[in-house]
Structure 1
Amino acid sequence: GISWTASMLPRLYPEQSVLYKPVVLLFTVCRPGFFKASPHSPSCSKCPPHSYTLDEASTSCLCEEHYFRRESDPPTMACTRPPSAPRSAISNVNETSVFLEWIPPADTGGRKDVSYYIACKKCNSHSGLCEACGGHVRYLPQQTGLKNTSVMMVDLLAHTNYTFEIEAVNGVSDQNPGARQFVSVNVTTNQAAPSPVSSVKKGKITKNSISLSWQEPDRPNGIILEYEIKYFEKDQETSYTIIKSKETMITADGLKPGSAYVFQIRARTAAGYGGFSRRFEFETSPVSASSDQSQIPIIVVSVTVGVILLAVVIGFLLSGSCCDHGCGWASSLRAVAYPSLTWRCGYSKAKQDPEEEKMHFHNGHIKLPGVRTYIDPHTYEDPNQAVHEFAKEIEASCITIERVIGAGEFGEVCSGRLKLQGKREFPVAIKTLKVGYTEKQRRDFLGEASIMGQFDHPNIIHLEGVVTKSKPVMIVTEYMENGSLDTFLKKNDGQFTVIQLVGMLRGIASGMKYLSDMGYVHRDLAARNILINSNLVCKVSDFGLSRVLEDDPEAAYTTRGGKIPIRWTAPEAIAFRKFTSASDVWSYGIVMWEVMSYGERPYWEMTNQDVIKAVEEGYRLPSPMDCPAALYQLMLDCWQKDRNSRPKFDEIVSMLDKLIRNPSSLKTLVNASSRVSNLLVEHSPVGSGAYRSVGEWLEAIKMGRYTEIFMENGYSSMDAVAQVTLE
């Protein structure tokens, strides 16, 4: 209401001769439910939502129960409350990293300043007790104040149970005395590469050698299989040497006196190499003048011995250069010059400590013969460095895209042509990265090129190069005319001889032997990931492991987290994520079954859970129709429950070679069908009689490289071949 609040009577100030007249002051008294924040406000305001006042002349409103206001919130702002819990949280486990993603809360509490907090707990599976994860866990981008709805936790412990609590908070969450509102996710991390070696100590140092020792990494994440020690002369980083040792100590010899050397060490488990340690610098002892004089007699003797050794080396080189060409004159020369020596083809490996192997590199390339080892590109701090180290950059102008032949996870797959300077134009396959990609998608896309670029084998898909300096980003590989093996076999059901099928299997096994020798575990060996060209040469492909395990339509979630292609995976890999070359051998046995059944789906329409249960109880796939008993026995050997009982890939290659050399060993079938045996007869209207020679027939069925083997085993005519078929 309106009321008189004051009246000023006239006052006369003679000295100023001013007469003040009466003035009436008016103001509004706010009734309950209304307030006036300032006495200068012209009118009363209604209390904002979720607030009230019961008194007259209120200058503010109180918040309802469970609603709050920050000190910085204006009195005209509604009272708010903490948000509800985030929704639909999902996890993605990759070794010792976990990626979490969620949907924002249904109720934000009426505020726009919502952020997220991640609580990490490490839990004991036996006692059920949990404790805080500790400071070693890193959160990307951060643990608190997250604005986006995803986070990555790295540097977790391997084979450990974790609980992550995702809590949504806003400006009034700290005023809420009630229980926290969060969504929790339980995960189990997998086996992972070890953490870096942190402590290295120097031992005995001479003018030509440095001895070192070190402690096992703080987080080995499994059994340490070996250590790799990289060293180089200071400021000469492009020329380095690598020593491999199973012990936590080595001696680097052959060093320059009085020179500084830099050492870095990394450990390897079944999951791969960890990161290199920081650089440790040590210096060899200087050479004294007296010691130089004392070396003179030794040098004289060394020169004499060297002359003798030189003659032996010359003879050795003659042996090596002629082993493959049958140089009779060289053999005769050796026999005359060195009658007391026994000569043989090959090379002699220098005597070494059985626990050590040495490899020498210059500018990243092997200088001396040694075992080549696969390097996981994920161990690089900058993934782009791995791409540029293992893949050649191609100018986009050299590539002509002709047509789209498929779609991949990251974009289209096309066929086209590549014209490099000084070379003829040739067909290629081109994978493109779709527009609007994230940095993670680009990294994952090029990660496959970083892996593929390390391999060089006729049965491994060959990487021509990458395009990263212009858009679209591309991976360029050799072109395989017949596409994936499973689709190709389904289209040509029953159209190949057993010899042809065994030739395909031999190529796949040869490629896998190469990968195994390099220390690379494929994890998703299946006919769909084998490509085949017009000459029926099979090549192992698909090295994008994150995509293989997480986005493959054949993959299924396991109880231990992550996705696995159940039908192709060994039991220990399903149960414990124990991926090794032995688990790849199990997968190879499934590929054999796919090939001999012309692309039939393993375990048919059984569910993944039924497959897991059946295999654990001893069930194995039955023999495909018309499958030679020798091949089915090899499948069963690959499916041994004890992974140590399975054959190695080099043994598989040798076994298949023997079968190819002796085709009659493929006559015995496990379960022959009523159709004509396709052991050796080509399925064509002309039949075997249309060929004038065995070589011509083998060329026609794309097996020409085995002509000499057939001849050596007495199959010199088509009659002899037909006799084997009809026996």
Structure 2
Amino acid sequence: MGGGIQWQQNPALCNIMQEPWEEPDIPDVEAPTPRRALTCLSDEDSQKIYDSVPRTEDVFNLHRGDLELHEKLGAGNFGSVMKGVFRRGGQLIPVAVKTLKQDELPNAESELMKEARLMANLQHRNIVRMIGVCRSDMIMLVLELAPLGPLNKYLKRACGRELTMNKVIEIMFQVAEGMAYLESKNFVHRDLAARNVLLVNEQFAKISDFGMSKALGLGNEYYKAESAGKWPLKWYAPECIYYFKFDSKSDVWSYGVTLWEATSYGAKPYRGLKGCQILELIENNRRLERPDQCPPGVFDIMLRCWRHDKNDRPSFRDIVELLRKFRSKS
């Protein structure tokens, strides 16, 4: 492929190869227990809460007085994520609120608005619902709340106690369905990972964090990233690293890594390896090993996702059908 020579001649990529971005370790503390009222709702009832909010311009531009912020849930590329409540008439709607980190991103407001408009146009039960944007002393994205939080953190806490492998596969089936929807809309996620899969409950998952997503233009097969940035290299396909090219088939590669994370109950992929070592492993046709509890057939799906030539990888619609047969067999 000749990519190794290209990254060695690119100073920015050389730095990434030597010190790839790593997820922070999860503290050994118990997460706060989600409110029973939210976690005990059925999938349908939970969905109805957010489906009842109309997708109008008036709702999209939220008033600060209608938004109440509570505790911090975490931090992302754009800033903090807070738990909150959106007051609409007499209804109190649980929400997650992404706040803008203005000091680190000079163009953050425009990037945030791109993310907001993009998400507002997406409508699928396995995609986090965008409710609107609130502007006051900072800019906030207001999203539906997934009470159990990121899949990787929940898996580390659960360690298989609450989530059997059958449940894990069901969750990843839902992720594949959500990604098939994005694929059908010509959207590239570009940051699919277990940290960006949120759990409403133990059997209902939603894909989140479209901060780096872009709509593909008609006739375009990919878009080029302007710069490497804080790349999650361990989830990236070779063509993303070598040529800055992203499309649905590079999302498929990332899905394979996400499926590995899920079936290994939150283990970190390529732990301890530098970027150049990961690329050497991939170029030598080696891949992550099968997690201990992962069914061989599910691991075969991962291997299909990690084929070097993107044209040999399955589509997300293919993955949905491949996974369907394993939903009640593990």
Same-fold status (TM-score > 0.5): yes
Aligned twin of 1:474: 140
> Match for 2:144: what amino acid?
E
Question: TM-score under structure 2 normalisation?
Answer: 0.74
Aligned twin of 2:158: 492
Kindly indicate whether the alpha-carbon contact (under 8 Å) linking 2:167 and 2:202 is maintained by their aligned counterparts in 1: no
**CA-CA distance at 1:561 after TM superposition:** 5.4
Q: Normalized per residue, which structure has more helix?
A: 2
Kindly indicate whether the alpha-carbon contact (under 8 Å) linking 1:526 and 1:568 is maintained by their aligned counterparts in 2: yes
**CA-CA distance at 1:507 after TM superposition:** 0.9
Kindly indicate whether the alpha-carbon contact (under 8 Å) linking 1:489 and 1:595 is maintained by their aligned counterparts in 2: yes
The whole-number CA distance in structure 2 between the counterparts of 1:597 and 1:405 is 24
Task: Please point out which of 577, 586, 590 is paired with 2:253.
Answer: 586
Kindly indicate whether the alpha-carbon contact (under 8 Å) linking 2:101 and 2:108 is maintained by their aligned counterparts in 1: no
**CA-CA distance at 1:601 after TM superposition:** 0.8
**CA-CA distance at 1:402 after TM superposition:** 1.9
| 1:389 to 1:420, Cα distance in 2 relative to 1, 3 A | closer
| Higher relative contact order (CA closer than 8 Å, sequence separation 6+) | 2
Aligned twin of 1:610: 277
Kindly indicate whether the alpha-carbon contact (under 8 Å) linking 2:68 and 2:85 is maintained by their aligned counterparts in 1: yes
The whole-number CA distance in structure 2 between the counterparts of 1:600 and 1:436 is 32
Q: How does 1:618-637 map to 2 (within 5 A)?
A: 618-637=285-304
Task: Please point out which of 96, 112, 121 is paired with 1:429.
Answer: 96
* 1:533 partner SS: strand
**CA-CA distance at 1:408 after TM superposition:** 3.8
**CA-CA distance at 1:535 after TM superposition:** 4.2
**CA-CA distance at 1:472 after TM superposition:** 2.9
Q: Normalized per residue, which structure has more strand?
A: 1
Q: How many residues align?
A: 266
Task: Please point out which of 216, 228, 232 is paired with 1:562.
Answer: 228
**CA-CA distance at 1:534 after TM superposition:** 2.4
Aligned twin of 1:542: 209
User: 2:64 aligned with 1:396, yes or no?
Assistant: yes
**CA-CA distance at 1:651 after TM superposition:** 1.2
Q: How does 1:145-160 map to 2 (within 5 A)?
A: none
The whole-number CA distance in structure 2 between the counterparts of 1:527 and 1:439 is 28
Q: How does 1:271-670 map to 2 (within 5 A)?
A: 392-421=60-89, 424-433=91-100, 440-468=107-135, 470-495=136-161, 496-545=163-212, 562-563=228-229, 564-660=231-327, 663-664=328-329, 666=330
Unaligned runs of 5+ in 2: 1-9, 14-55, 214-225
Q: What are the superposed Cα offsets for residues 188-215 of structure 1, whole Å, 9 maximum, x if unpaired?
A: 9xxxxxxxxxxxxxxxxxxxxxxxxxxx
User: Superposition RMSD on alpha carbons, in Å?
Assistant: 2.7
| 1:466 to 1:615, Cα distance in 2 relative to 1, 3 A | same
| 1:542 to 1:438, Cα distance in 2 relative to 1, 3 A | closer
| 1:392 to 1:576, Cα distance in 2 relative to 1, 3 A | same
Kindly indicate whether the alpha-carbon contact (under 8 Å) linking 1:390 and 1:453 is maintained by their aligned counterparts in 2: no
**CA-CA distance at 1:636 after TM superposition:** 0.8
Q: What are the superposed Cα offsets for residues 550-580 of structure 1, whole Å, 9 maximum, x if unpaired?
A: xxxxxxxxxx952432211111221122211
**CA-CA distance at 1:505 after TM superposition:** 0.4
* 1:589 partner SS: helix
**CA-CA distance at 1:432 after TM superposition:** 2.2
Larger deviation, residues 650-659 vs 408-417: 408-417
**CA-CA distance at 1:603 after TM superposition:** 1.3
Aligned twin of 1:72: none
Q: What are the superposed Cα offsets for residues 204-246 of structure 1, whole Å, 9 maximum, x if unpaired?
A: xxxxxxxxxxxxxxxxxxxxxxxxxxxxxxxxxxxxxxxxxxx
> Match for 1:642: what amino acid?
D
The whole-number CA distance in structure 2 between the counterparts of 1:436 and 1:643 is 38
**CA-CA distance at 1:409 after TM superposition:** 4.3
The whole-number CA distance in structure 1 between the counterparts of 2:58 and 2:121 is 6
| 1:621 to 1:446, Cα distance in 2 relative to 1, 3 A | same
From the CA coordinates, give the structure whose radius of gyration is larger.
1
**CA-CA distance at 1:390 after TM superposition:** 11
Q: What are the superposed Cα offsets for residues 451-497 of structure 1, whole Å, 9 maximum, x if unpaired?
A: 211211111111111113x3332110001111111111111112222
**CA-CA distance at 1:435 after TM superposition:** 7.0
**CA-CA distance at 1:433 after TM superposition:** 2.7
